[in-house]
Every structure is written in structure tokens, then in C-alpha cells.
Structure 1
Amino acid sequence: MSTIAKALTIAGSDSGGGAGIQADLKTFHQHGVYGMSAITAITAQNTLGVAGVYPLPTEAVSQQMHEVLRDLGADAAKTGMLFNADIIRAVAEELKAFGLKKLVVDPVMIAKGGSKLLLDEAIVALKTELLPLAEVVTPNLPEAECLTGMRIETTDEMREAAKAIHAIGARNVLMKGGHMQGDVVVDILFDGTAFHEISHERIHTRHTHGTGCTFSAALTAELAKNTPLITAVEKANRFIFEAIKTAPQLGGGHGPTNHWAVVD
């Protein structure tokens, strides 16, 4: 019996390869984890923006998950772009049916270019159906504002938002501070009791497409390998820093990060 760690990504397809399941699978591989996928939607996009979003039938999403989990199983899973409430409910049902505990929820809502990747009516389902299943949720500041209705402009407000999201049901909340101003990026992990800050210098670049997907995939991979949460967050943070720092400079818009970045 193989002892390799296995991770499942439940997310949309990015035809440009910088985000979504493509970024997730490349990141899983780079971390030495066997990657599997359940595609929720197909997007037509490149570094300049999203030209089209085509959600899959809900049954197709459920069946992908069911077939993967009943045979291969998964040590951890992550969600990305889920698009609508029906897909969110279906994903939650499959996760509960198979008792998957190590779930990373990346609440993908808006693409870098501004295209909506989660319908407004799906936000309630995300909060009520999926967040209570999450081992950790990884919102950026605009996503956290959408989830909480709060304006977030300071680290103190990040902490308050983390408490509010934790109260929704997620066991741990990782607030990503990349949208905050300044030369230092501060992420804040809240475990329901204590706050842990992880900071690094800001890299000024337009090549940041898929950073949220790539970071959450690295975190998922580490959890699949039974890395303790705080250590997993720190490793994922270092990985995305190197991935941005060594981005391959592709495309004329928001280019992808480097999924071949060194894993420490």
C-alpha cells in the first residue's frame, strides 16, 4: 500500500494555467503530494482577464468527488472557485459523506481583473454550508470584507474580522494581508484563542495571478503530510514568497507565479 500523501482540489479550471486546478496540481506535485481534482467550472482566461465562465452541472461535480474519494481517498482537500450555491451544497455533502476533516477553504470570489467568480446568492451557502467544515479558511481582505460586512484597513481590523469568520464556524482563520498598504505583508492566523502573525517583505510586481490558489494549495499539501498547522502556514507563506519572487514573467497582464519554486 502506498504511503504517499494525497490531496484533492475542488475548483475551477484556469486555461492560462496560473490559478485554479492547474496551479493547485502543480503546487501539490512540487510539495511531493499526489494531486486529484474535481472541476467545478471551466474558465476561458489569460493574464489579461477572464473572458468566460462555464460552470459544470452540479451532478458532475458531486460525481467527480465521489469517485475520487471512494477509491483513492484524500488526506486533505481544498476548495477554490465554486461559483454557485448548488455546487457549494453538493461539495459540502460529499465532504461530510466521506468524513474529510482537513479542508482548506479558499473563498474565491473575484478574479484579479475584477470578474466575479462567486455569485452573490452563493455567499450565504459558503458561510452556512462550507465554512463550518473548514480546518482553515484563507480569505484575502476583500473576501474577508464580503464575508463579514466589515471594512478592513488595519491589522487590528484584520483580527476582528478573523474573530467574526471564526464565529461562522471555521476552526482556524488565516487573514491574508496582501491588499494592505506598506512594504511589509502581514498575515494573521487565528485559532479561536490566539493570534499568530507571519510577515515578509512585499514584492512589487504585476505577476501575482493565482497567488491565493497557490498559497492555499501549498497549505493543503502540507496538511496532507500531517505538518502542524502553524508550521504548514509558515511553509506555504515561504513558498508563495519565492513563487512570486521568481515569477516566470509570462503574459501581458497579471502573470502567473513560479510553481517550480523551491520547497523548504
Structure 2
Amino acid sequence: MSVRLAVTLSAFFLLVTAASAAPVDLGRAEGSLVINGKSTPLRFAYARYDNSVLEGSARDLVVLLTDRQVAPSALANSSELLRLESGGQLVLVEVRLTESGQPVRLAFHKGKKSISAMQFDAKSIVVTAAAVEGTVGIDHILLGDKVVIRVRFRAPIGAGSVSIPAPEIVDATTMFTPPPRSQQSGAHALPRGGGEPGKVWRAYDAALRKNDNATLFQLVTAAAADRLRSDRTVSMKVAFRPRKVEIVSGNVNGDIATLQVRGTALKTGSTATTRIGTVTLKKEYGAWKVDDEEWKTAQSF
């Protein structure tokens, strides 16, 4: 009896193992988005190429993992996707990868709040001319909520852009909340590199590093200039300012622009630390000026 039971159990576990290793059908996903124990299955997968959010790269591969099928007309319309998602009619996880399959950004919504993580697992990613497949995941506390995503997928690669408007960035522990106006419906994404606000911030960054105060004060708002004049720790902040900075994404709403940036901090021993920042720019007398900048350390998941 025990031998028969052992054989039966062995056969069962072999079947489970074989099933878990079976390839995912094209256009399908297997996994879930779990927030505080509430699980939503993710069953469908779509992919398109999109303009890269990283400087020096031509394009990214964007994978959409959803709980239900999405009409082709909606896939081709980022506003419609956002409407369905924010209205609770669609659960969607956007996975942005480089053309070679390296992780760039993972994004989803919690209610009407868009959340993005720049550090997540992306394993066994295989990109061909027609499809992309692999496994992505994250397991972390975000804004006090336990978030777990584990999904295997195999998505056909279509044409055109499917990316939803760039969400705010979340590192291991902190969401960087943009100014209230940037959350309004009038906000739109800036082009790769940050457009004109991006140019101003790069000039500001260069002037700050060179201690070129004449140029620096021309690139900041009046309020920021007052803060700089009274800040006795500017030189120390410059010394520890991240290197190799790049603009990841950005959006603009009227006279306010928000950039999401990242860079590498000074090495401690042999380890380089990635830092993530939020830059706010405002228009004064028709010109973009840097108003505020906040940097935080990105921790590994």
C-alpha cells in the first residue's frame, strides 16, 4: 500500500513539475498581481516597441500583462488604456525592457495611483523578431502595501507604441510624489531626454558641479536662488552629488515640469550606489527654471 502511494505521489509531482515547466502559449501570461494578499490573475500578454526612456538607447520593448483581453484599438491608444485601467475595467502591469531584454521599469496602478519600480526581477528573457518571453517579478513593501508580482509570459511583438503615460518612480522604500498639478489630466509625457526642461536641468547640473554661480542663478527660480544663497552646505552636497546622471522620464503640465533622474553615487569600497531623483522645474517669465531637486538611494529588492 505504501509503495503504491509512493508511486502515485511521485507521478503526481512529476506531472506538476512538467506542467510548471510547460511553455506559455503565445499571447498568454501565467501569474498574478497581489496587493496585501488580494490577488488578480494576469492571463494575457502583449508587446510593442516604444521610444526609449533611457538616453543613448533608440527604443525599449514594452510588455503589457493584463487580466483580460484588450481590443487592438485600445492597445494602439494609450489614453484608452489609461482610462480602462484607472476606471477599474482593466488590471495592467507594464514591463519596460531594453531591446536585449534588460529590465528598465515595471509599472502598475493601485486604485487611481500609478506606481513604478525601477528595480525588479527579469529572468530568462528571450527576444526574437516575433515575440518576447520570460519571467518578471517583484516582492516588496511599497507605500505600506505588500506587493508581489510573479508572471511568466510569451507576448507577440506588434508595431507602434503602447506605453501608458510615465508613472512616478518608486525605489525600494519610497514613492517620489510629483507636484499636485502633474497628476491632473492635462499632464503629458516629455520626449526622451526631457525636452527643453531636460536641457535646462543638464545645464544646471553642469554649472553646479563647476561652481559657476553666474550661470547657476540664471537657471533656477527666484525661490530656489534664495535657498541656494542661504544654504551653507552646497559645496558638500556637490561633492556627494551622483555621477553619470541621466533623465529616465518626465512630464509637463502647464508651467510645471517634473523629471525622474538617476545617477551613481561615489563608491563605498567596491560597491557603486544608484540614486534616484525627482526634479521640479517651473516657468518664470517664459523660461524653464529649476525649482527643486530631491535625491534618494535606491535599495536592492
Please give the TM-score of this superposition, normalised by the length of structure 1. 0.27
Q: Which has the higher helix share?
A: 1
TM-score, normalised by the number of residues in structure 2: 0.24
More strand by share: 2
